[in-house]
Amino acid sequence: MALDTESGKRMLQLVTSRYNNREWRNKIEKTLSLSPSGVGDEVQRAIFLYLKHGLKAYKSRRADPDSWIVGGYATTEVIERAKFDPTVVGATITKEDVASLGVDPGPEVDQAWWEEMLVAWFEEPETEEPPAESEQPAPDDDRKKAEA
Q: Return per-residue pLDDT of the chain as tens, 148 residues.
A: 678 889 999 999 999 999 989 999 999 999 999 989 889 889 999 999 999 989 887 766 666 777 888 888 888 999 999 999 999 999 999 999 999 999 999 899 999 999 999 998 887 655 555 554 545 555 555 555 555 5
Distance between CA 63 and CA 27 in Å, rounded? 23
Which amino acid, one-letter code, is at 26? N
Question: Domain residues for 92?
Answer: 5-125
Phi, psi for 3 (deg, rounded to 5): -65, 140
| Residues 119 and 111 sit within 8 Å (Cβ to Cβ) | no
What is the count of structural domains for the chain? 1
Quick check: is 145 in a domain?
A: no
Quick check: is 130 in a domain?
A: no
Quick check: is 141 in a domain?
A: no
Quick check: is 136 in a domain?
A: no
Quick check: is 132 in a domain?
A: no
Picking from 106, 66, 98, the residue whose alpha carbon sits closest to that of residue 82 is 98
Quick check: is 116 in a domain?
A: yes
Phi, psi for 57 (deg, rounded to 5): -75, 145
Quick check: is 25 in a domain?
A: yes
Quick check: is 11 in a domain?
A: yes
C-alpha distances in angstroms, 42 versus 21, 61, 135? 28, 31, 41
